[in-house]
């Protein structure tokens, strides 16, 4: 009887440990997938703005809400102007994000407005004079978000206009709640 009680106690303790570790990992997975992406509009830098080249660097802050270190292998993004794909942005730069911490990646948005004319976006010169009319959308994935658990692709989308990106008084925007 004593050995049966010991076996039952050990099995019970083992199940509690497995359940506790499993519950902790599930909680961390939920926090990791509740990844926060903040677009730092106030730090956006217009490198050049001309009829033949628009070059903007948009810092994106990534927040890790989990208790575990997370890593990002890079990003793959499409850049759209007035719903026309004008460029792609790729990076395979490894970024580590500390538990309950932040890291910033710079996304370089580069395209030639004259090429945009060739793919059907009319009146780009007029639009550049009215920057509110130049709608910019960034959509794609952060690649290889991982910790104990790996998420191959984390989708991100951001919409703004050229006036907001080039304004000194813009506000940062976030997917965080």
> Which class for 83: exposed (0-12), middle (13-18), buried (19 or more C-beta within 10 A)?
exposed
Q: Is 34 helix (H, G, I), strand (E, B) or coil?
A: coil
Residue scoring higher pLDDT (21 or 132): 132
In three-state secondary structure terms, 170 is: coil
Do 143 and 74 contact (CB within 8 A), yes or no? Answer: yes
Q: How confident is the model at residue 40 (pLDDT cuts 50, 70, 90)?
A: low
pLDDT of residue 28: 65
**pLDDT of res. 170:** 55
In the predicted structure, residue 36 carries a pLDDT above the cut 70: no
* Residue 35 phi, psi (nearest 5): -55, 140
Residue 121 has pLDDT above 60, yes or no: no
Q: Give the percent of the chain with pLDDT over 90.
A: 1
- By the 10 Å C-beta count (0-12 exposed, 13-18 middle, 19+ buried), 117 is classed as middle
Q: How confident is the model at residue 74, as a pLDDT?
A: 84
Mean pLDDT (the chain) is 75
Does the pLDDT value for residue 117 go beyond 80?
Answer: no
Instruction: Quote the pLDDT of residue 104.
Output: 83
Q: Residue 67 — φ and ψ, nearest 5°? A: -85, 0
What is the rounded CA–CA span in Å between residue 164 and residue 86?
A: 19
Q: Residues, the chain, total?
A: 177
Cβ-contact 56, 103 below 8 angstroms:
no
Burial of 128 (C-beta count, 10 Å sphere; 0-12/13-18/19+) = middle
Per-residue confidence (pLDDT) for residue 78, from 0 to 100: 92
Residue 42 reports pLDDT greater than 80? no
| DSSP code at position 156 | E
pLDDT, position 175:
59
Burial class from Cβ neighbours inside 10 Å (0-12, 13-18, 19+) for residue 19 reads exposed
Task: Write a three-state SS string for 43-105.
Answer: HCEEEEECCCCEEEEEEEEEEECCCCCEEECEEEEEEEECCEEEEEEEECCCEEECCCEEEEE
Q: How confident is the model at residue 108 (pLDDT cuts 50, 70, 90)?
A: confident
pLDDT band with cut points at 50, 70 and 90 for residue 174: low
The pLDDT of residue 119 is above 60: no
State mean pLDDT over 107-123. Answer: 70
Judged against a pLDDT cut of 80, whether residue 77 lies above it is answered with yes
């Amino acid at each position: 009887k004593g050995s049966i009680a010991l076996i039952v106690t050990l099995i019970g303790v083992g199940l509690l440990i497995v359940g506790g570790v499993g519950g902790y990992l599930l909680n961390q997975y939920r926090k990791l997938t509740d990844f926060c992406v903040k677009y730092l509009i106030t730090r956006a830098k217009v490198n050049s703005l001309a009829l033949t080249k628009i070059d903007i660097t948009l810092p994106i802050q990534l927040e890790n809400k989990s208790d575990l270190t997370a890593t990002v292998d890079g990003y793959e993004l499409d850049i759209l102007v007035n719903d026309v794909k004008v460029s792609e942005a790729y990076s395979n730069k490894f970024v580590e994000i500390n538990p309950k911490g932040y890291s910033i990646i710079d996304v370089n948005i580069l395209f030639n407005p004259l090429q945009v004319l060739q793919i059907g976006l009319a009146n780009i010169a007029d639009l550049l004079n009215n920057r509110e009319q130049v709608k910019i959308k960034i959509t794609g994935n952060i690649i290889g978000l991982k910790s104990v658990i790996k998420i191959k692709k984390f989708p991100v989308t951001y919409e703004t206009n050229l006036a907001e990106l080039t304004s000194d008084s813009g506000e940062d925007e976030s997917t965080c709640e």
